[in-house]
Structure 1
Amino acid sequence: MRYAIVIERSGNSFGAWAPDLPGCVALGGSAEEVQRRMRKAIEMHLAGMREDGGPIPPATTGVEYVDVAASQ
């Protein structure tokens, strides 16, 4: 399964979350670190859902970038 994650910088650290998995978040000191931690967080989140007998949500979020002029 492949889930989209959002990585945000805040000061000297980074946070990440998965739109398709509410409550699944991670923090790290770099974008690479938070991505590694988010992978582990998703694995743990899905394992907990399986243990609880809940369904695993499908990955439905897509990510695209749009180019716009920075100034006019």
Structure 2
Amino acid sequence: MTNYIALIHKDADSEFGVSFPDLPGCVSVGTTLEEARLNAEEAVALHAEGLIEDGETLPEPSTLDEVMADPANRDGAVIIVPLKTAQPRTVRVNITLPETTLRDIDAYAESHGFTRSGLLARAAKRMIDAA
């Protein structure tokens, strides 16, 4: 199993933010440390799925020494996040959406480090789990 190093940060008036030095754009948040950790696992899985879907290769994880050699990373708490590879087979689907909705989805996904597919899958999963 591949493990990525994640950094947890928290400002006084914010939730716990999680970033992955090896996966630019892959971010997550949580109101508690435990929620941040769990959301980080979901974020790295969705990010990897999006990279694979886009025909890109996953970067090799850096070592802890490599990550901490960057002074910008020293303010975060380090956690190890497993990339769970037993993902279900990805299936391409064709959907119809209003053009403005698609633009909004793409803008949100880009600004939050998701692919379009990753964001839609995550939103759908959350709605299903909440039902």
Q: TM-score, normalised by structure 1?
A: 0.81
Alpha carbon RMSD of aligned pairs, Å? 1.4
- Assess if the C-alpha contact under 8 Å between 1:19 and 1:61 holds in 2: no
Which amino acid is 2:25 matched to? G
The runs of 5 or more residues in structure 1 that have no matched partner are 65-72
Q: 1:24 aligns with which of 23, 26, 48?
A: 26
User: 1:51: Cα distance to partner?
Assistant: 0.5
Flag as ranges the 4+ runs of structure 1 deviating above 4 A: none
Give me the TM-score of the superposition, normalised by structure 2.
0.46
Q: Which residue number in structure 1 is paired with residue 9 of structure 2?
A: 8
Give the structure, 1 or 2, with the largest relative contact order (CA under 8 Å, sep 6 or more).
Answer: 2
- Aligned length, in residue pairs: 64
Which sections of structure 2, spanning at least 5 residues, go unmatched? 69-131
CA contact (8 A) 1:20 1:61 kept: no
Higher helix fraction: Structure 1 or Structure 2?
Answer: 2
Counting aligned pairs with the same residue, the percent is 34
1:53 and 2:71 are equivalent in the alignment: no
- In the other structure, the counterpart of 1:70 is none
**Kept after mapping to 2: 8 A contact 1:5/1:17:** yes
Greater Cα shift, 7-16 or 18-27: 7-16
